Chain A
Amino acid sequence: MAGFTDLEQFRQTYFDECAEMLAIVEAGLLDLARGGADAETVNAVFRGVHSIKGGGGTFGLSALVAFAHEFETVLDEVRAGRLAPTGALVDLLIRANDVLGALLADAREGREGDGILAARVAADLRAVLGPAEADGAAVETTPTAAADGPQRFQIRFAPHPHMLSRGNEPLYLFRALAHFGPLEVECDHDAVPTLDHLDPESIHLSWTLRLETGQPEADVREIFDFVAEDCDLHVAVETEAEPEPAAGPPPDIGREVALVGPGGAMAEPLSPGLPAEPAPPRPAAGENGGRGALAGQSIRVDLDKLDRLVNLVGEMVITQAMVAEQAASLPPGQAPRLLEGLEELARHTRELQESVMAVRAQPVRSVFARMPRLVRELSTTLGKEVGLVMRGEETEVDKTVVENLADPLTHMIRNSMDHGIEAPDAREAAGKARAGTVTLSAQHRSGRIVIEVSDDGRGIDRGRVLRKAVDKGLVPADAQLSEEEVDQLIFLPGFSTAEAISNVSGRGVGMDVVRRNITQLGGRITVHNTPGEGTRFVLSLPLTLAVMDGMVIRTGGERFVLPLTNIVETLRPRPGDLHRVPGQGTVMMARGEYVQLAPLARLLGIQGAQPDPTRALVVLLETEEGGRFGLVVDELLGQQQVVVKSLDAHYRRLDGIAAATILGDGRVALILDVAGLQAMGRGLARTAAAEEFAHA
């Protein structure tokens, strides 16, 4: 492997891995808190913290390593069954994980944290262990406290030939050692083969190092944690006459027996000179073995590279559509091979594009996984009993969507727990179970992902919502609103029903921010409220933000794209199918159901469109919430895949418009927002009705 000069790259990988570890640790701790944890969970938690500590040593992150060590020590006691994972202890461990995360974030940004919180949590961790352990831990991890004076270590370090290919660089290890004290390095190059037998990607050097330091042996060994599986390591205190027998085999044996020895050797009890060391057996073999096996199946890819790929494929889809459009204008029967080829190209383009999108898809689990903790903490804060039920964590959606879901979901769950779920006594009085339930679910539905957050609480108090909205001047005092319209008021900017500003959900940011977040992702949010029984929020989001199947339509001189997923059918109504209904505008009988008609030209102010629906076309549309209406357009121009281009990147969001795209002729066409149009259509009908009554 080349390019080892770039330490940054490894730091990056280390921090990425740490983020995963932190998540694993947290998930494990939460399992522990629920009492559903087995020995393997505790092991996984321990391994996670241990790996973070090991890597931290390599990069010289001493504050991090010191803290991780305290954390790990307590975990080891839990693992050995000497400490019971009580609720209080698990809470402490969760806090410790947070501190670890904060320390990592500091290290990543190169910041000096103040360390106050870390010191406090570390003290708590030591307190858990009892006085004897606590003293020992303090001695061992605080360099200044190492009262027994510097020792000279002799370290023999013989990498296995393949060590470099695992991304390890001896130089960094030595530098990390040099942080501990004066270091002498002696390189043994006897094993280097002659040039014609030399494999430049293998390592044939071994080293003998002499280090004078006040650090305990365990810390010295830690430096080599990341390479434990890929080297033979022998650490001895020079002042002692004999090297301890537990250390690995002599360096020159290791080369052919790469897979035996060192991991096991490390698990032996450590130097007897350090009685306070809790001697955690190193889970090196299992952990590193697992990582090695995974390495063959997945790679990390820089997100920028992926985005570039997605953009390129997007441009390719447009170009393909352009070529196809040109080819369609050839006289029939001309160039059949060309047309065949183009068809093939179209199919491959589509497959390519789906594959690229699939690369970006992620299960929503990564966001959902944060919610149990939120619910747990909030239950305590609010003094409510709440259980969280999650479904469909495996549902996949574009990475961008996943990432942007965290804030809205957090807020909605807070909202449900704060405003929705009642206090246990109130619930009992209402004939419900004392513990409330918040349900979070995800599923794919007609080419979109639908996420629901529901609770079995008291529902939205419409009277209170309306009063509040009137008080705040959001609606006129004499407004006549339907129940659904009152429910919608919670999405108004500046609306918050909390009587007092609580630090849970009444922070002035409310459901309007949630709605804005969701809208920015091309999604929609609706609320379904049953007073006394609960509230259900439904989010509907596109699976990918990059492409969609669309139907190109024309009205007047303008072309638009309708998302194919919303189209039920297209029909031309007969005069007998149409009826005028006051307050509803024109409705049409379609398949035994009356649907409201919305003339696109009137909604968007387009001139020159066919005003008579019986001479135009009605596209029957269904929104994600299941509502149907008929959009009156002049004609259908054809179905095609379109690349979704943001309109608000350089301009702004517009009502009734979801985004824009570029058609085969290079011109821009707007992609219609079906639910938005439906709302505009209702508004139009209401205004028209009001005018009729005024004139009557």
Chain B
Amino acid sequence: MHKPLPATRDAAAPPAAPGSQPSRQLVTFTLGTEEFGIPILAVKEIRGWTPETRLPNLPPHVRGVINLRGVIVPIFDLRARFGGPQTEATRRHVVIVLTIGERLQGILTDAISDILDVADGDILPAPNGDGGLVDRAAILGLVASGNRMVTVLDLGRLFAAETQALDEMQDTMAGTAGA
């Protein structure tokens, strides 16, 4: 079962140097015009998109699974996850393979954009209003970098909510189907 994973947050923060503010490195990527950041320590690898194998009867943001050197890894379409249409994936799209707890999960994004050094204090809470495409629970905060605004994602929560919803769906189905 999938636990909520505060560990990804903590792991992202390197030990603070004396006198300096705790900081973390973020990998940022784009979906359309929006830019998102995730902790660099959660990133296992970044690879070009390859066709995935579809999984049946799941919401459109679950694209399917790929073979990552003998390991079956699920790929999620973040654009669709955040309420947009499913991405028309091409070889130029990028899959970021993440370590979430003990699991590997891939997210499909448009492109990798940058690596940012961010002090914890620079991550500002997102405004209470409409969070754009993303549900608020999955947002850790916002970071301004130059004239860009980067939305920092809370990976643990992003996947925990997902897992919970699917668990519930499946339990009801298992209950009615019978063997």
Instruction: State the A residues within 8 Å of B (CB).
Output: 315, 318, 474, 484-485, 488, 491-493, 515, 524-526, 558-559, 603-606, 645-647, 649-657, 660, 662, 666-670, 675-676, 679-680, 683
Contacts and interface: CB of A to CB of B under 8 A. Distances in A.
- Interface SS of chain B: helix, strand, loop or mixed? mixed
- Interface SS of chain A: helix, strand, loop or mixed? mixed
B179 A650 contact: no
B103 A650 contact: yes
Contact of A650 (B52, B58, B104, B170): B104
Contact of B170 (A492, A558, A559, A653): A653
B51 A667 contact: yes
Contacts of B52: 668
Ranked 5 nearest A-B pairs via Cβ: A604-B56, A488-B178, A668-B53, A651-B74, A650-B103
Contacts of B20: none
A668 B65 CA distance: 7
Contact of A657 (B55, B104, B171): B55
Nearest to B73: A650
Contacts of A646: 72
Interface residues of B, number: 32
Contact of A679 (B55, B167, B179): B179
Contact of B58 (A315, A654, A676): A654
A515 to B, nearest CB: 8
Nearest to A656: B56
Contacts of B56: 603-606, 654-657, 670
Nearest to A669: B53
B166 interface: yes
Nearest to B70: A315
Contacts, number: 98
Contact of B175 (A474, A647, A660): A474
A149 to B, nearest CB: 60
A497 B165 CA distance: 29
Contacts of B175: 474, 492-493
B57 A604 contact: yes
A315 B66 CA distance: 16
A646 B71 CA distance: 9
Interface in B102-131: 103-105
A668 B67 contact: yes
18 contacts: A474-B175, A493-B175, A645-B72, A650-B103, A651-B72, A651-B74, A651-B105, A653-B170, A654-B170, A655-B174, A656-B57, A660-B53, A660-B65, A668-B64, A668-B66, A668-B72, A679-B178, A683-B177
A678 to B, nearest CB: 9
B3 interface: no
A182 to B, nearest CB: 51
A666 B67 contact: yes
A650 B159 CA distance: 12
A491 B72 contact: no
B147 interface: no
A635 B16 CA distance: 60
A488 B170 contact: no
A485 B58 contact: no
B55 to A, nearest CB: 6
B54 interface: yes
B25 interface: no
Given A650-B74, A679-B179, 11 more contacts: A474-B175, A488-B178, A526-B179, A645-B72, A649-B72, A651-B105, A652-B167, A655-B57, A669-B53, A679-B177, A683-B176
A249 B179 CA distance: 71
Contacts of A606: 54, 56
Contacts of A315: 70
B55 A654 contact: yes
A318 B69 CA distance: 11
A650 B66 CA distance: 11
Contacts of B178: 484-485, 488, 491, 679
B84 to A, nearest CB: 21
A550 to B, nearest CB: 15
Nearest to A495: B175
B23 interface: no
Interface in B150-179: 163, 166-167, 170-171, 173-179
Contacts of A683: 176-177
Contacts of A656: 56-57
B53 A650 contact: no
Interface in B40-84: 51-58, 64-67, 70-74
Given A558-B54, A605-B57, A667-B67, A493 B171 contact: yes
B176 to A, nearest CB: 7
B103 A649 contact: yes
A666 B65 CA distance: 12
B71 to A, nearest CB: 7
B171 A650 contact: no
A606 B55 CA distance: 10
Nearest to B66: A668
Contacts of A655: 56-57, 170, 173-174, 177
Nearest to B163: A652
